[in-house]
């Protein structure tokens, strides 16, 4: 499945996948990446596995009514701290609730 071929809003539960598509910004000489945390309506979400996408797990919400942003995760990109698995606490990524 190629990303974006099906209309809707794409998200992922995997922070590593989200970071691949995130924007970078520089503040005080340090570079950061930022991703949004979202809540999705589980009744309407379609899930696509890593085997299907070739990248990672994607969730597809058919309507903007099925997804709600609630926080931002900010991570310094030139940090020597590198996540080793997906079980890191949200605070590891500098997540902030809206």
14 part of a folded domain: yes
Residue 65 CB burial class (10 angstroms; 0-12, 13-18, ≥19): exposed
Which phi and psi (to 5°) does residue 15 adopt? -60, -35
Of 91, 83, 38, 86, nearest to 65 by C-alpha is 38
> Which one-letter DSSP state was computed for residue 3?
T
**pLDDT tens digit sequence for 55-70:** 999 999 999 999 999 8
**pLDDT tens digit sequence for 3-27:** 557 889 999 999 889 998 898 999 9
Rounded Cα distance, 55 and 36, in Å = 19
38 part of a folded domain: yes
> Which one-letter DSSP state was computed for residue 17?
H
CA contacts within 13 A on the Cβ side of 94: 11
Taking residues 84-88, report their average pLDDT: 48
Rounded Cα distance, 86 and 84, in Å = 7
Query: In which domain, by residue range, is 46 found?
Result: 9-79+89-97
Domain count, the chain: 1
pLDDT of residue 4: 59
33 part of a folded domain: yes
pLDDT greater than 60 at residue 76 = yes
């Amino acid at each position: 499945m190629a990303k974006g071929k099906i209309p809707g809003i794409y998200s992922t539960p995997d922070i590593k996948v989200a970071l691949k598509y995130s924007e970078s910004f520089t503040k005080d000489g340090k570079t950061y990446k930022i991703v949004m945390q979202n809540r999705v309506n589980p009744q309407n979400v379609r899930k696509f596995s890593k085997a299907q996408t070739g990248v990672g797990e994607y969730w597809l919400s058919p309507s903007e009514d099925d997804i709600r942003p609630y926080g931002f995760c900010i991570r310094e990109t030139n940090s020597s701290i590198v996540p080793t698995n997906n079980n890191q606490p949200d605070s590891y990524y500098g997540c902030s609730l809206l």
